[in-house]
Amino acid sequence: MDTLLQDLHNYTDSLAQKPLFGLLLTLLVYQGALWLYNRCNRSALIHPVAVSAVVIALLLKISGISYQDYVDANQLIYFLLGPTTVALAIPLYNEFHVLRRQAMPILVTVLFGALAAPAIAVGIAWGMGASDEVLLSLAPKSVTTPIAIGIADQIGAMATLTTGVVVFTGILGVLLSPAVFWLSRLGDTRLQGVVMGINAHGVGTARCFEIGSDSGAFATMAMGLTGTFTALTLPYLIHWLGY
């Protein structure tokens, strides 16, 4: 039995050294999670991002493959995060005639939301005695992953923690949004898109596109403006606060 386990461990070690293994693992697990998501009527409780993260974490733990080896094998996906975000300009263009009429209310809402969301999160963590490094890692939580990683590197935060918080924030936003919209009587899908874009960034925007193209376009605009505003102001604010 010990020999079998050792052979299995050696086999997984050899697989980890193959550049395509981590990439294929990510794609296969995500496709499986996406299939499950569709089979469960797209329930937010079984979001493919959350399911994939849990499954891959368990597989890495069981197999003994290091997280760094896995990350190195998935650099292509990290690279594609940027172009994918830029590609969201297409639905923005398609709905531009509608967005243009609502530009000023959206801009004001985004500015307040982009300031309030990180301030509340960091304030709660500070009140609970979190370290400075954790506080810095929480600050970019409400922007999409590519921008959040860039901000985290710039302000000296832990990029891995920031990434996890960003994904968790998006999933939590998707889970809670139906109840929040019902309690607030917010039935306009365009306004729902703005709220999701500010608070749940990429994960929330993807959910909005499932509702409709107009909701997705408004979410994209809100997400982009939130990311831009945060990227331009947060590093200077952190420096001004003495971190």
pLDDT by residue for the chain (243 residues), tens only, comes to: 555 445 445 545 555 555 677 788 889 999 999 999 889 888 777 888 888 988 998 988 887 778 788 888 888 887 787 787 777 777 777 777 777 777 788 888 888 888 888 888 889 999 998 888 888 899 888 888 888 888 888 888 888 888 888 888 888 888 888 889 999 888 888 889 999 999 888 888 888 888 888 888 889 888 888 888 888 888 888 888 776
> Same structural domain for residues 90 and 173?
yes
Which amino acid is residue 199, in one-letter code?
Answer: N
Q: Which long-range contacts (CB under 8 A, 24 or more apart) does 201-204 make?
A: 201/142, 201/143, 201/144, 201/145, 201/166, 201/169, 201/170, 201/226, 201/227, 202/85, 202/144, 202/145, 202/170, 203/47, 203/49, 203/167, 203/170, 203/171, 203/173, 203/174, 204/170, 204/173, 204/174, 204/177
> Same structural domain for residues 148 and 197?
yes
> Same structural domain for residues 8 and 96?
no
Residue 79 domain-assigned (yes or no): no
Structural domain span for residue 96: 86-240
Instruction: Quote the pTM value.
Output: 0.76
Question: What whole-number distance in Å separates Cα of residue 240 and Cα of residue 243?
Answer: 8
> Same structural domain for residues 183 and 149?
yes
Query: Number of folded domains in the chain?
Result: 2
Mapped onto helix, strand or coil, the DSSP state of residue 102 is helix
